Structure 1
Amino acid sequence: MADILYESHGHVRLIIINRAERMNSLNFEANDELVGAFESFNDDDDAYVAVVTGAGEKAFCAGADLKTYTVNFARSPAPDFRRKYTNGPGFAGITRNMDIFKPVVAAVNGFAISGGFELALAADLRFCSPNAEFALQDAKWGFHACDGGLIRLPQIVGLGHAMEIILSGERLNAEHAYRIGLVNRIVPAESLLEETMRYAQMLASRSPLSHRFAKEVMKRAIGMPMDEALRLESRSFYDFGMTEDLVEGTTSFRERRPANFKGK
């Protein structure tokens, strides 16, 4: 049975971590499969939106399968490890060294711990079930997050909330996560994936090029001086003005009909 399932639903791609018996933690092989799934999504012009979730009801992703990671790390020469897992794509594929400017939505169905939390942070939107729990527990075990948690979490929830989560290593529940803006919606567990897929299909009906241009600007503008960021936004809008999607969008508005975007 494949560790990672990759399904096509129109313009939406559903990516499922299929290791429920291991709380959807990732060993080296599963991590490589997940990297490949995100690369396939990124390279597919017919794929507009991705949804990532975990199999079962207990866990979205409990991070790295540390038993196999420690064994493989001991067997792997340091230069090979650095080349593949430090200089290469980060944990779960999208946490580092993989720029995807298409929307990615996480359906967090239970525990999102350490690397699993960082995978959720690397998504653009997070929907979760009421039983979801989030934690960066690294400080309990003598290290700190290293796949975007220290960088993305403060951007999403603010420095104060991020400090509390990272320094304590304690878990926070779905209500706490929603209150501080970590998750966008809390959805009943039995309908989480259905509601997330419905939302993704709605996103896929919008202009895919608009999404890509806008997401790239928002990501690249982080940390820029305001005048430089505004120039980036203006340049992006100018470039987008040359696309067929803009013509289709404005034409459909005048003709009072739904737009039929082609991503061109």
Structure 2
Amino acid sequence: MSHTQTRRGSLSHKMARFFGARFYCTNYIRTVDYDRVRLIEINRPSVRNAVNDTTAKELFTAFKDFEKNPALSVGILAGNGGNFCSGYDLKELASKDEAPALSSPFSVSSPAPMGPTRLCLSKPVIACLTGYAVAGGLELALWCDLRIAESNVILGMFNRRFGVPLIDGGTVRLPALIGLSRALDLILTVREVAAKEAHDIGLVNQIVPVGKGLEEALKLAQQIASFPQDCLLHDRQSAMQASLGQANNLKFEYETAEGLIKDAVKGARKFSQGFGRSGKRIH
């Protein structure tokens, strides 16, 4: 991946200085490599780190680069500016007559709407959840191996308000993680899930104070990277293989949602007009 060095004063930049690492960025992604850990940070804070087509491609490329780099053992996915990710950028979706990024043929070798969510990496990734981690943002978090959440985090399938289907693994990974009954609760409603409940049901692994998420995620990543990797990666792969028949299930989720994309565009247009926010119905 090509990067441009930056000197901005974000949290990730401060952490990079603290850990002695160098800080780089592309258009909407910022990365820090320290020792055997790569931090990949979504950098669209003005839209709560909503993912547009460019961001999805950059995330996909960043994680492909992480996967093939033998010097890196653990990844961290975070969001800049106080939020993890608010999902797919509905304003960008609203501007389209169709949704070409969503209606392309299913492929594990090209970016998903949220970027890397079809990749089956051989190395673990930790999600650092801050602020809003909702809709496609929650699907990104589910794609990760572990989730560290700051105490004020808000999770939920808010895409339900706008008729936007889950096509980045949400219907596959969420039931596997927390069980079908709890998963259906989140999939069928638009209710917010706070950090404590998320921890209680197994949606997040650890709760930390506000402002400490990235620091704790880096410590955990370094701990995991310190273990003998061959054994760790074998056991991880075996556990994941046992829990998910992932590739076929992800393909089913995506292809059966194709006919819903026109409704998703209509819902996105209502979002861009200000309807449906703060939990209000749009119908």
Same fold (TM over 0.5): yes
- Establish whether residue 152 from structure 1 lines up as the match of residue 176 from structure 2: no
The alpha-carbon distance between structure 1 residues 41 and 147, as it changes in their structure 2 partners (threshold 3 A), is same
- Establish whether residue 191 from structure 1 lines up as the match of residue 215 from structure 2: no
Residue type matched to 1:9 in 2? Y
- 1:66 corresponds to which residue? 90
* Paired residues of 1:111 and 1:134 also in contact (CA < 8 A): yes
Residue type matched to 2:227 in 1? R
- 1:231 corresponds to which residue? none
Task: Give SS of 2:188's match.
Answer: helix
- Establish whether residue 91 from structure 1 lines up as the match of residue 113 from structure 2: yes
Task: Give SS of 1:7's match.
Answer: strand
- Establish whether residue 220 from structure 1 lines up as the match of residue 241 from structure 2: yes
| Deviations, residues 97-116 of structure 1 (Å, cap 9, x unaligned) | x1102110000011011110
Aligned with residue 142 of structure 2, among 117, 121, 135: 121
CA positional deviation for 1:213: 1.5
- Establish whether residue 43 from structure 1 lines up as the match of residue 68 from structure 2: yes
Aligned with residue 192 of structure 2, among 165, 168, 171: 171
The alpha-carbon distance between structure 1 residues 116 and 216, as it changes in their structure 2 partners (threshold 3 A), is same
Identity of aligned residues (%): 34
- 2:16 corresponds to which residue? none
Please report the TM-score for the alignment, with normalisation by the length of structure 2: 0.72
Question: What CA distance in whole angstroms lies between the structure 2 residues aligned with 1:128 and 1:92?
Answer: 20
* Paired residues of 2:53 and 2:113 also in contact (CA < 8 A): no
CA positional deviation for 1:92: 3.2
- Root mean square deviation of aligned Cα: 2.1
CA positional deviation for 1:32: 0.6
* Paired residues of 2:59 and 2:116 also in contact (CA < 8 A): no
CA positional deviation for 1:89: 3.2
* Paired residues of 1:12 and 1:50 also in contact (CA < 8 A): yes
Please report the TM-score for the alignment, with normalisation by the length of structure 1: 0.77
- Establish whether residue 180 from structure 1 lines up as the match of residue 204 from structure 2: no
- Establish whether residue 11 from structure 1 lines up as the match of residue 36 from structure 2: yes
How many residue pairs end up in the alignment?
220
Structure showing greater Rg: 1
Task: Give SS of 1:217's match.
Answer: helix
CA positional deviation for 1:91: 3.4
* Paired residues of 1:130 and 1:186 also in contact (CA < 8 A): yes
* Paired residues of 1:133 and 1:173 also in contact (CA < 8 A): yes
- 1:251 corresponds to which residue? none
- 1:27 corresponds to which residue? 52
Question: What CA distance in whole angstroms lies between the structure 1 residues aligned with 2:244 and 2:101?
Answer: 36
Residue type matched to 2:93 in 1? Y
- 2:276 corresponds to which residue? none
Unpaired runs of at least 5, structure 1 = 225-264
Task: Give SS of 1:128's match.
Answer: strand
- Higher helix content, 1 or 2: 1
The alpha-carbon distance between structure 1 residues 124 and 75, as it changes in their structure 2 partners (threshold 3 A), is closer
| Deviations, residues 185-236 of structure 1 (Å, cap 9, x unaligned) | 1001121111110111111101222232222212222368xxxxxxxxxxxx
* Paired residues of 1:177 and 1:183 also in contact (CA < 8 A): yes
| Deviations, residues 113-133 of structure 1 (Å, cap 9, x unaligned) | 111000000000000011101
Task: Determine which structure has greater relative contact order: mean sequence separation of CA pairs < 8 Å that are 6+ residues apart, divided by chain length.
Answer: 2
CA positional deviation for 1:144: 2.8
